[in-house]
Structure 1
Amino acid sequence: MKKLFFSIIIVFINHVGSFGQEKFFEKIELGFSGGLAVPVGHFKEISIAPSLEPVPPGSIPERFQGFLKNEGGQAELGYSLGLNLTYHLTPSVFISLNYLKTQHTIDTHPQQIYYDANFKSEIDLNGVPFEVPGRLESDPYRANLFYLGIGYRLPINRMEVRFTGLAGMNNLEFPFYIWFFQISETFEIISRPFPIDGPVPTSLREFAYGLETKLTYSLSQKLNMNLAATYLRSDHPHDYWTNTLAASILHEIQDEIRYRNLAVQFGVSYRFTGKE
């Protein structure tokens, strides 16, 4: 999909240039940006209870059954990189083709603290206490968003404010996780997702939409710098199996990643106008 996106840009520019459509070409603007990726709502919230093994009411949960994210994605502050191609239909209205990459690490410390407090210390059949150290490791959230925009620009001297509605696709990589349980000095049990019908998904593609507000300052007739806040959201349901320590019960996980991200970026853009 990345290759297709960049190919469209290159072919589009070459096509316009080859036919000498100067007026059309002058309405094209190419921009690059980078900055923070701020998780919002469920995407950043912490939720431990949905990850616990189901037990009878009033009983103490025995182990973690997985790492569910539908109530709390536990995403941390990350980074974002962007690319956009804008065509100015009128002095006020424009359309855009956009790509945004974001990455967030996942905060697994809450699960670690809860495990150490509730599950680490055990008592064997002879009443002798012992410990089963456990830890959770997880891949980060990696998202590649491709989307279209239609917007309105409001000039104010050398500055302008742009408001854009966005819609497209979020190709979110499945964040694989692993639970490690140290049974002895030489033996460790590993629990991680595995497939229900076919492989565990590596790519979770879903519809995404959002809004963007951008403040642009003109450095010259061709070159602009800008500061943008881009909010995008998408929901990514998925299924898989997982198991628990010292048990033969397999748990079917029906989960959903609720991607909510605010990209705060600084960028530059080049307008393919005529002479300076």
Structure 2
Amino acid sequence: MNKAPLLFIILSILSAEAFSQQKFFEKIEFGFSGGLAVPVGHFKEISITPSLEPVPPGSSPERFQGFLKNEGGQAQLGYSLGLNLSYHLTSSVFISLNYLKTKHSIDTRPQQIYYDANFKSEIDLNGVPFEVPGRLESDPYRANLFYLGIGYRLPIHRLEVRFTGLAGINNMEFPFYSWTYQISETTAIPLRPFPVDGPVPTSLREFAYGLETKVAYSLSKKFNMNLSATYLRSDHPHDYWTSLLAASIAYKIQDEIRYRNLAVQFGISYRFGGE
């Protein structure tokens, strides 16, 4: 039997397969980036009032009931790190798989100033003034976003402008906080979240979406440097109780973190094929 035709067919199939894989990898671009995380809207606003609860209703607030964030997240300027993997469907259209990590410290100074001005100084039953120092401490906002993108490329000589629609998941860590009241030199009472029906969530996973604009400059056929602005938003409702403060009642907190973030990043990307 003449094996030459069969061998030719096998080699042709293998060659076509290898060529197809080569073409596939030529359309892949991998990049990483880092920069600022800029809080926007409710996420950065300061609002002390939702943290207060009159006890009983109609009276002057006696203590902070918790640290609610639905009206004001009090997020400060933070940092962001990103990874992205893009596949170029055509010369103009691409899809991408992305990861973004952001971290924002929380500004607790407004509550501290208000507490010191209104609650720190007390008068006992004998009319003797005394102080109850209190302080608010909080974990930062930590968010891990995984999302898909579909975008459009507009080449301008060695520059390239990209516009991308984004949708995915924001897995935010619950920012635990504590109000601590120093009632004596040796005794402090913490006010912290605790469960409603199960543990206080350590992970607040919700749908996220947004837009990205990126300007890329070609350093070579394979390497690009870029500057991007990525806006992402998500809402994270959650419930918990505050722990008891001496003989007072506990407060049930129904809160929501309204994540609104603009990541301004500088990045480098590698195009496996290059044109």
Give the corresponding residue for 1:225. Answer: 225
Tell me the percent identity: 86
Q: What do residues 163-186 of structure 1 show as CA deviations (whole Å, max 9, x unaligned)?
A: 000000000000000111000000
**TM-score using structure 2 length:** 0.91
Q: Distance in 1 between matches of 2:68 and 2:57?
A: 20
Give the corresponding residue for 1:5. Answer: none
Larger Cα-atom Rg: 2
Q: Distance in 2 between matches of 1:62 and 1:87?
A: 58
**TM-score using structure 1 length:** 0.91
- 2:132 pairs with 1:132: yes
Q: What do residues 51-78 of structure 1 show as CA deviations (whole Å, max 9, x unaligned)?
A: 0123456521100000000000000000
Q: Distance in 2 between matches of 1:159 and 1:218?
A: 6
Do the aligned residues in 2 keep the contact of 1:181 with 1:245 (CA within 8 Å)? no
Q: What do residues 132-181 of structure 1 show as CA deviations (whole Å, max 9, x unaligned)?
A: 00000000000000000000010000001000000000000000001110
Matches of residues 194-233 of structure 1 in structure 2 within 5 Å?
194-233=194-233
Q: Distance in 2 between matches of 1:246 and 1:57?
A: 19
Give the corresponding residue for 1:183. Answer: 183
Deviation of 1:250 after TM superposition, in Å, equals 1.1
Give the corresponding residue for 1:7. Answer: none
Letter in 1 for 2:128: V
Letter in 2 for 1:140: P
Give the corresponding residue for 1:8. Answer: none
Do the aligned residues in 2 keep the contact of 1:65 with 1:244 (CA within 8 Å)? no
Q: What secondary structure is seen at the aligned counterpart in 2 of 1:62?
A: strand
Deviates more, 1:56-65 or 1:219-228: 56-65
Do the aligned residues in 1 keep the contact of 2:54 with 2:60 (CA within 8 Å)? no
Q: Distance in 2 between matches of 1:106 and 1:149?
A: 30
Q: What secondary structure is seen at the aligned counterpart in 2 of 1:22?
A: helix
Deviates more, 1:255-264 or 1:52-61: 52-61
Q: What secondary structure is seen at the aligned counterpart in 1 of 2:53?
A: coil
Q: Distance in 2 between matches of 1:90 and 1:273?
A: 14
- 2:93 pairs with 1:84: no
Do the aligned residues in 1 keep the contact of 2:35 with 2:79 (CA within 8 Å)? yes
Give the corresponding residue for 1:259. Answer: 259
Give the corresponding residue for 1:45. Answer: 45
Task: In structure 1, list runs of 5 or more residues that go unmatched.
Answer: 1-16
RMSD of Structure 2 on Structure 1 (CA): 1.5
Give the corresponding residue for 1:66. Answer: 66
Task: In structure 2, list runs of 5 or more residues that go unmatched.
Answer: 1-16
Do the aligned residues in 2 keep the contact of 1:65 with 1:243 (CA within 8 Å)? no
Q: What do residues 91-116 of structure 1 show as CA deviations (whole Å, max 9, x unaligned)?
A: 00000000000000000000000000
Do the aligned residues in 2 keep the contact of 1:63 with 1:244 (CA within 8 Å)? no
Give the corresponding residue for 1:170. Answer: 170
Give the corresponding residue for 2:35. Answer: 35
Q: Distance in 2 between matches of 1:235 and 1:144?
A: 14
What is the number of equivalent residue pairs in this alignment? 259
Do the aligned residues in 1 keep the contact of 2:210 with 2:232 (CA within 8 Å)? yes
Do the aligned residues in 2 keep the contact of 1:44 with 1:74 (CA within 8 Å)? yes
Q: What secondary structure is seen at the aligned counterpart in 2 of 1:53?
A: strand
Deviation of 1:245 after TM superposition, in Å, equals 3.6
Q: Distance in 2 between matches of 1:119 and 1:222?
A: 62
User: Displaced runs of 4+ in structure 1, greater than 4 A?
Assistant: 17-20
Letter in 2 for 1:229: A
Do the aligned residues in 2 keep the contact of 1:77 with 1:104 (CA within 8 Å)? yes
Q: What do residues 187-237 of structure 1 show as CA deviations (whole Å, max 9, x unaligned)?
A: 000110000111000000000000000000000000000000000000000
Q: Distance in 2 between matches of 1:72 and 1:247?
A: 29
